[in-house]
Structure 1
Amino acid sequence: MSEADASTTAAQRTGLRVRVQKFGTALSNMVMPNIGAFIAWGLLTALFIESGWLTGIFGSLDDPHGWVAKIGGWGAFENGGIVSPMITYLLPILIGYTGGRMVHGNRGAVVGAIATVGVITGSDVPMFMGAMIMGPLGGYLMRKLDALWAGKIKPGFEMLIDNFSAGILGLILAVLGFFGVGPLVSAFTRAAGNAVNFLVNHDLLPLTSIFIEPAKVLFLNNAINHGVLTPLGTAQAAETGKSILFLLETNPGPGLGILLAYTFFGQGAARASAPGAAIIQFFGGIHEIYFPYVLMKPRLILAAILGGMTGVFINVLFNDGLRAPAAPGSIIAIYAQTPGDNFVGITLSVVGAAAVSLVVAGFLLKIDKSDDGDLAAATAEMEAMKGRKSSVSSMLTGAARGPITDIVFACDAGMGSSAMGASVLRRKIQKAGFADVTVVNQAISNLADTHDLIVTHKDLTERARQSTPSAIHISVDDFMSSPRYDEIVELLGQTNTAADTKDVVVEEDSASTPTPASNGGVATAPAPTLHALALESIVLHGTATSRDGAIDEAGRLLVDCGAVEESYVAAMHEREKSVATFMGNGLAIPHGTNEAKGAIVRTGLSFVRYDDPVDWKGKSAEFVIGIAGAGKDHLALLNKIAKVFLKADDVERLRSAQTAEEVRDILTGA
């Protein structure tokens, strides 16, 4: 084979691996948000089925009419109870809903859930695979349909078209699932189940570790675990109360053994970091933390395989299994799903796997005469294979992150405060010479764990951290002049290479600079439109004496000019309950919640100036600007307003303005 052919083959393999990783990640993203429901079902199964823990205490097999039997759905209640409906309907529908939402938001989620009901009723096995197919399919087709008539529907007919298109598409997919996908997936599930039974009956199941353990290190495990093992294991658990398939990939023993081997026999940074990594891996369930140690010494994959085979062999020997998936792969999560008579076997399987992995890895490290290896490089290689940053990589390397290029300013609605904050921060970053750094605004509900740095109000940081655990999180309480902005610029100085500042031009006209899109992208903002801030929506002498009164006054101006419906004012108050919209420099910008965007008729702003500043949760608000943003056409105007309130002279001009025209000219830069 020529060098060119070899290079082509390697590229094809890499491309295939990446596609499998993305497929596995998509499956994982459908399952992981619903693990709590799996745990609830597993506990109900353990407690209330005919052989459950509470049956022998409060129930009686001789009296199949008791409350335990009623909950468990056995005896006189064989077709009722809670356990069976949860696995038959609730869990697949949740997966289908989540899959549709991943592709096309709430509309995709609804259609995905409807389509999933079709495959559930058209099959005779728990339809997890069918849900993983129909959920994303429903979301994808709904997105395509919405794109066909985007911007073409006459005003007043949007809700009618949206609801009927979703309903009709859901109907079609449900029927397709009932007659087509459901029976096919049922047949595949039965065939795969027969294959697993063959491996178990012929004592071959431990051999699966030959494939599973290397797949974990290459981040291919999600495709195997959530695409095959979880659906098959859940079907098996529905019949027998437990499944060994839930233990094939989640056993923390092999990784624990490798980390202990580095603790005892390693050198340098690897040895120093291994004990902490072992705690995170074993109790936290984050298996990826040991992957760089294997990548640094690839022969250690043998220790993981032999440890995995040992664990599976012991589980087969003791006829062990879990009631439901254990996620993450923590010993705590595993014990939570362990049936009462399986604790001994499962404990021995973890200990045995760790012991064999420790012995083999220790031997390989002792005979290895090569350099200790570069843990930081191995961690970078792991992140490259994963396709995004690892939440535990900084613990392994102790080093700062790489360049920060993707910053998101997030708030509840992604409409007002985040847009203003992003505008201020963007200008500071541009002036510092970091031209390769993008700063966008976005609603917290739309965040994905792909960003480098997230800026939020201090009351929203924990909520944002749940969606983006891999990002750096910065909390602010003053959107206009927070000292944290300068800290961010200093952080960029440590991680990025700044351009020569004399070559950096910060545009004064926001219409020609990139502005943040509400969905997280970067859009080119249109020129500020004067109709968004009508003269009749500008009040020079506000009458409110409290924050709530000021919100009502600004909201009423938006209603009166036809920008919003009445319900939007209530949403402005609701938004204020979660996080104050005081921006700093005497400015507050109340606006509605993300859910209230349907009450916005068109983009509109209102302006109220108070002779006696209003108390805004301990801050003095002299200027109140109500915001209702439909799309992105208000962002350029907000950018202008942000620049005004950063300059003391412009704020003083607003304070002394005598007419609504003067106020509008100052705010729009006219």
Structure 2
Amino acid sequence: MATAYTPEPTGDGARARVQRLGGHLAGMVMPNIGAFIAWGLITALFIPTGWLPNKDLGELSEPMIKVLLPLLIGYTGGRMVHGQRGAVVGAVATMGLVAGADVPMFLGAMIIGPLAAYLMKLFDGLIEDRVRTGFEMLVDNFSAGILAAAMAVVGNLAIGPVVRACTDAAGEAVGWLVDHDVLPLTSVLIEPAKVLFLNNAVNHGVLGPLGVQQAAETGKSVLFMLESNPGPGLGVLLAYMFFGPRRLRPSTPAAAIIHFFGGIHEIYFPYILMKPRMILAAMAGGATGIAIFLAAGTGLVATPSPGSIFAYLAQTPRGAGNWIGVYTGLLASAAVSFAVGAALLGFGRLAEDGAEEQGSGDAGDAGNEKDAGDAITDESKGTGAETAGTGGDGTAQQPAAR
């Protein structure tokens, strides 16, 4: 199941399997990046701590991230597997997850959308050429409706609780690391949890309360900066801007602005989901920043919400030592994340995923980039399940001109 963003890798090794997983995640998330940007802009502008606080418009933020975005992911994942019928049952099944959920169900949507569509595909294969003439529409509509309703119930009763359990487990693990004074290692858990959109649960559910208690005693707390540091995300986006796949580079400047100045970290999560190995860059940057914060003995006076550079400026306590420590750590985390991310992207030599599949001996050869581009062009001509990442009219997106 190749996408216009990541051609189908060859081989059966662990590397190929990870790349296939990344390609499937990218196929569900990247076509909806415009919706993420729209949500990020609305959130950065209109929430109570935004640039232009507005109570009525700020109410758009929560239903968009809890309902709209998961539904889009479930819809797109279903369409990747079984076209429009798969998209419909995937969206309905995802609705069972988001109903009453107190955290964004992105991970659940990535599971149940394709799963529901796959079951629909199996059913359609079983009844193909067995339905009497004149009953096709009746069978198609009722079968899709029954399966979608059943999967919505399964999502609400089974998959939803599993996702919530993962959220609780991530929070408890971070809390254990904090309690045992190994703060730099928290990045190993915080960054993957963030990418799975558990950032608010970790920050406000675990780190925030602990930080408030510490700040009441000392006037500041480093715990406020563990999750909210915008440096690692900025480094990842800059690595994509300079060395990422060519068709994604134009979208990264806007994402970087929304992330760093607006404090909407969710905007960079899809870029890591597209290439899961990039989580290593975020981990390295986060651990670097935390180590510098600890060495400088600095902290913030309250939770920076949203986690933008402006919120950091507002919450940094007085004193040259605090300012130097906070912003040295922030810039260092961005620099390390950028350097590691650039290395993971091959400093542009692996600009397209297809170049990675030419073999370790010739991955850097000049001809690989052209081969990767040809692979993307060929894949984008497919139909049905082979056109994941297509536009709204079902036609494959063409490669950008070089």
With the length of structure 1 as denominator, give the TM-score of the two structures: 0.39
Amino acid at match of 2:14: L
Give 1:137 shift: 0.9
User: 8 Å contact 2:177–2:186 — kept in the other structure?
Assistant: no
User: Once the two structures are superposed, what CA deviation does each residue of 1:98-146 show, in whole Å capped at 9, x if it has no partner?
Assistant: 1111111111111111111112225433222221221111111111111
Alignment partner, residue 69 of structure 1: 55
Asked if 1:182 corresponds to 2:182, the answer is: no
Amino acid at match of 1:133: I
Identity %, equivalent residues: 41
Match of 2:370 among 388, 392, 401: 401
Equivalents in 1 of 2:67, 2:226: separation in Å?
20
Alignment partner, residue 332 of structure 2: 352
Amino acid at match of 2:332: G
Asked if 1:118 corresponds to 2:78, the answer is: no
Equivalents in 2 of 1:242, 1:110: separation in Å?
41
User: CA 1:280 to 1:304, structure 2 compared with 1: closer, same or farther past 3 Å?
Assistant: farther
Alignment partner, residue 342 of structure 1: 312
Aligned to 2:198, the other structure's residue is in SS state helix
Alignment partner, residue 213 of structure 2: none
Aligned to 1:125, the other structure's residue is in SS state coil
User: Once the two structures are superposed, what CA deviation does each residue of 1:254-289 show, in whole Å capped at 9, x if it has no partner?
Assistant: 987xx9xxxxxxxxxxxxx9xxxxx9999598999x
Give 1:398 shift: 8.2
Query: How many pairs does the alignment contain?
Result: 324
Match of 2:195 among 214, 221, 229: 229
1:268-307, aligned counterparts within 5 Å?
Answer: none
Give 1:86 shift: 1.6
Equivalents in 2 of 1:206, 1:313: separation in Å?
6
Task: Note the residue ranges of structure 2 that are not aligned, 5 or more in a row.
Answer: 1-11, 209-223, 244-248, 257-267, 317-322, 341-345
1:15-26, aligned counterparts within 5 Å?
Answer: 15-26=13-24
Amino acid at match of 2:124: D
Match of 2:120 among 142, 167, 171: 142
User: 8 Å contact 2:381–2:396 — kept in the other structure?
Assistant: no
Match of 1:159 among 137, 143, 147: 137
Task: Compare the two structures and name the one with the higher helix fraction.
Answer: 2
User: 8 Å contact 2:350–2:356 — kept in the other structure?
Assistant: no
Asked if 1:252 corresponds to 2:246, the answer is: no
Equivalents in 2 of 1:229, 1:342: separation in Å?
21
Equivalents in 2 of 1:15, 1:242: separation in Å?
38
Aligned to 2:370, the other structure's residue is in SS state coil
Shifted more, 146-155 versus 39-48: the winner is: 39-48
Task: Note the residue ranges of structure 1 that are not aligned, 5 or more in a row.
Answer: 1-13, 56-67, 73-80, 213-223, 260-272, 274-278, 292-301, 324-336, 361-374, 411-439, 451-459, 474-670
User: CA 1:398 to 1:46, structure 2 compared with 1: closer, same or farther past 3 Å?
Assistant: same
1:434-583, aligned counterparts within 5 Å?
Answer: 442=382, 447=387, 466=397, 468-469=399-400
Match of 1:196 among 169, 174, 181: 174
Higher relative contact order by CA 8 Å / sep ≥ 6: 1 or 2?
Answer: 2
Amino acid at match of 1:250: G
Give 1:402 shift: 4.1
With the length of structure 2 as denominator, give the TM-score of the two structures: 0.60
Aligned-pair RMSD on alpha carbons? 5.4
Give 1:192 shift: 1.3
Amino acid at match of 2:94: T
Give 1:164 shift: 0.8
Amino acid at match of 2:109: A
Aligned to 2:102, the other structure's residue is in SS state coil
User: 8 Å contact 1:118–1:175 — kept in the other structure?
Assistant: yes
User: 8 Å contact 2:75–2:113 — kept in the other structure?
Assistant: yes
Alignment partner, residue 168 of structure 1: 146
Give 1:449 shift: 7.9
Asked if 1:28 corresponds to 2:45, the answer is: no
User: 8 Å contact 1:47–1:53 — kept in the other structure?
Assistant: yes
Equivalents in 2 of 1:253, 1:441: separation in Å?
31
